[in-house]
Amino acid sequence: MSDKTASVADMLARLYAQSFGGKASGRYRVPQKLLREMFGVRRLYADDIERLHRTLFERGYLLIDMDSFYVIMSTNSFVNYRRLSHDAINEVSE
């Protein structure tokens, strides 16, 4: 992991708790252009994004690629989701 990736991941994680965009804290989106500026590069490659994704995940956040922007969410957001069971799969496959 590069120092720049760690630095950007730390900044993105800290922003999750900051108030902006009309919300006190929580999920947010980052345009590709702004992410490139944060890295100080003209182009981000797939391996750059993968490194950032893994680094954020280690910090408890997800980076979701939405083509023209990225979403940052806490992994805790998914704790209360319904759990899929074999019984549910069997119901819809019959």
Three-class SS state of 87: helix
Residue 91 domain-assigned (yes or no): no
Residue 93 domain-assigned (yes or no): no
Domain that holds residue 47: 3-78
Find the CATH number of the domain harbouring 41.
Answer: 3.30.1370
Write out pLDDT tens, residues 17-34. Answer: 999 888 888 999 999 999
60 Rama sector, left if φ>0, alpha if ψ -120 to 50, beta otherwise: left
Residue 53 domain-assigned (yes or no): yes
Residue 38 CA, chain-centre distance (Å), reads: 15
- State the total domains in the chain: 1
Residue 44 domain-assigned (yes or no): yes
Residue 66 domain-assigned (yes or no): yes
Residue 94 domain-assigned (yes or no): no
pTM: 0.84
Give CA–CA dist 51/55, Å, rounded: 6
Q: Environment class of residue 11 by beta-carbon count within 10 Å: exposed (0-12), middle (13-18) or buried (19+)? A: exposed
Residue 25 domain-assigned (yes or no): yes
Residue bearing the bigger pLDDT, 24 or 6: 6
Residue 88 domain-assigned (yes or no): no
DSSP string, 26-69: S-EEEEHHHHHHHHT-S---HHHHHHHHHHHHHTTEEEEE-SSE
pLDDT of residue 78: 87
